[in-house]
Amino acid sequence: MVEKRLLEEALSFSQDSSTSLPSVRVEHAVCTTTKGEITLEIHRDWSPYGADRFIDLMDRGYYNGVGLFRKNHWIIQFGAVQHPQTGVRKQFSGMRTIKDDPKTDCGGKCKKNKLWDGAISFAGGGKDSRSDQAFFVHHVGHQPLGNELWETPIGNITEGLQVLRDIYGGYGENIDQTQIFRHGNDYLKDFPKLDYIKECHILRNTLRKGYDQTVDSPVFTLMPQVLVYV
């Protein structure tokens, strides 16, 4: 399995005393969906605030059981959950936001700030609007994503692009985020073909310091909940 291989590589790396630790912090993650498994790389040097938030949400199990509720020509969006709700999701959902990250060349992947097939980014709706909803890019070729302030890639898919292709997209833009906020997955039962993320977690295979942006950080502010970026 992908996870076993990555962990074995990490163990081999940690046992080699001649190998210096990387200066760029990269995390591997695995998301299991109803269509299969996706392996991700999260790059903090591409989007420091965004990567730390995404890692934090994964660590808290935030994306476990969420619907892949929006699939259009370019993206698959996820992370909309019910409000109000006890525990982690009440704390994060549509309430606390992070600062925008400066644009970079993403290690050569970002061409003129454009996102690419397999890129991962937060959704947003204005300056410093990133919170908990994110999207995968699944389109090969020209697409409009990457120009907005919040469209800073936090990582990319390394294995499982075909899983993205297989995610059901027949509902298009017809699933109402507001109804998800009000009724959660009970509302999504009206869409029986919808695919879900079953579980996402980080594989601790590289050195990573503690988050310098946490839920208690003053960079978080109240922002509107509905996130539509294209």
DSSP string, 49-90: HHHHHHHHHHHTTTTTT-B--EE-SSEEEE----SS-STHHH
**Mean pLDDT of the 129-154 span:** 83
Residue 156: the pLDDT is 95
Q: Is the pLDDT of residue 223 over 80?
A: no
What is the C-alpha to C-alpha distance for residues 145 and 147, in angstroms, rounded to an integer?
6
Average pLDDT of the segment spanning 25-38: 95
**pLDDT given for residue 88 in this prediction:** 58
Q: What amino acid occupies position 9?
A: E
Closest to 101 (Cα-Cα) out of 137, 148, 152, 146: 152
To which residue do tokens 């935030």 refer? 62
Stronger pLDDT, 180 or 215, i.e. the higher one: 180
Confidence of residue 92 (pLDDT cuts 50, 70, 90): low
* pLDDT tens digits along 37-70: 999 999 999 999 999 999 999 999 999 999 999 9
pLDDT of residue 122: 94
Distance CA 116, CA 109 (A): 8
Per the model's pLDDT, the better-predicted residue between 141 and 57 turns out to be: 57
